[in-house]
Amino acid sequence: MGTDRLPTGIPSVDRLLGGGLETDSVTEVYGEGGSGKTLFCLEVAHRVARENRWVFYIDTEGVSVDRLRSMAGDGLEKLLKRFLLSTPKDLDEQTAAVRTACSLAREGRRAVGLLVVDSATAYYRLSLSGPGEDDARQALSLEISDLVLTALRAHVPVLITNQVWRSLRDGHLEPLGGSFLNHAAKTILFFERLPGPRRRVVLMKHRDRPEGSAEFRITERGLESAGSG
Ligand code: GTP
Ligand code: MG
């Protein structure tokens, strides 16, 4: 095992990842709406903030605090003191938020334990097939490059979520962002909906782990291992 890991706190997923998220690279989670991407980000973020390390959280969905409240209960206020939450309303604001978070993380004045961008591609998707498509592609590439360098240089694990499109060729769900994002993220997880609260996590790419899968279950308090995990 080459690099340090940040445990996600979900045992089945940590086993799949050889201990947790790599601390010097970008992890991408992609999957359909409702597959649990946001809950997963919040689960890891909750754990990091509870241990008194800073979480830089860029939220394009505007739902984080409510979800966090149901995970943290009475501990919410204390937890939020370790959150630097940013809620961009368009791609330009997102670009600025990523730049600020990366430069603060690299500056090293705070002990930053995690940087999250959820979703990295929601605004980007809205710009596709329109006049701003090329600018959006360029903005996304620059953001992702900044995140890759921040993880590498500041040893801050970066967790991003990505949306999907269905391939007309074979009907598979594919992540947005094309080959650039596919190369930039060193770990790629695909979240699949199973019946009820169960979700499958498929390890699509990793530097030193074999492909495989794990399951978790969505509960009121957060995510728990499920299935054989
Ligand atoms: P998008 O952002 O739309 O792409 O979805 P996502 O992948 O981020 O999904 P998210 O993490 O928001 O997961 C939402 C899923 O969790 C939905 O299917 C909800 O019904 C489910 N969910 C949320 N809270 C609870 C809970 O307390 N208990 C259970 N059983 N399910 C919950
Ligand atoms: Mg979400």
Atom of ligand 1 nearest to the CA of 41: 11
Give the residue-averaged pLDDT of 164-176. Answer: 92
* pLDDT tens, position by position, 60-72: 988 768 888 888 8
How high does pLDDT run on average in the chain?
A: 94
Q: Is the C-beta atom of 39 inside 6 A of ligand 1?
A: yes
Q: Is the C-beta atom of 175 inside 6 A of ligand 1?
A: no
DSSP E strands: which ranges in 137-197? 158-162, 164-166, 173-175, 187-193
Which residues, 6 or more positions from 70, have their beta carbon under 8 angstroms from its beta carbon? 220, 221
Find the 2 Cα to ligand 2 centroid distance in Å: 30
Q: Is the C-beta atom of 69 inside 6 A of ligand 1?
A: no
Instruction: Assign 229 a pLDDT band (cuts: 50, 70, 90).
Output: low
Q: What is the pTM of this model?
A: 0.96
Residues 213 and 16: beta-carbon distance below 8 Å: yes
Does the pLDDT of residue 1 top 60, yes or no? no
Picking from 13-17, 129-133, 156-160, 197-201, which range would have the lowest pLDDT averaged per residue?
A: 129-133
* pLDDT tens, position by position, 179-223: 889 999 999 999 999 999 999 999 999 999 999 999 999 998 899
Q: Which of 11, 13, 7 is nearest to 50 (CA)?
A: 7
* pLDDT tens, position by position, 47-91: 999 999 999 999 998 876 888 888 888 889 999 999 999 999 999
Give Cα separations from 177 to 91, 144, 145, 160, 227 (angstroms). Answer: 14, 10, 13, 12, 31
Which residues, 6 or more positions from 28, have their beta carbon under 8 angstroms from its beta carbon? 120, 160, 161, 162, 175, 181, 185, 187, 188, 189
Structural domains of the chain ordered from first start: 5-165+179-225 (3.40.50.300)
Q: Is the C-beta atom of 227 inside 6 A of ligand 1?
A: no
Which residues lie at CB < 5 A from ion ligand 2?
37-38
- Proximal ligand: closest to the CA of 43: 1
Find the 43 Cα to ligand 2 centroid distance in Å: 13
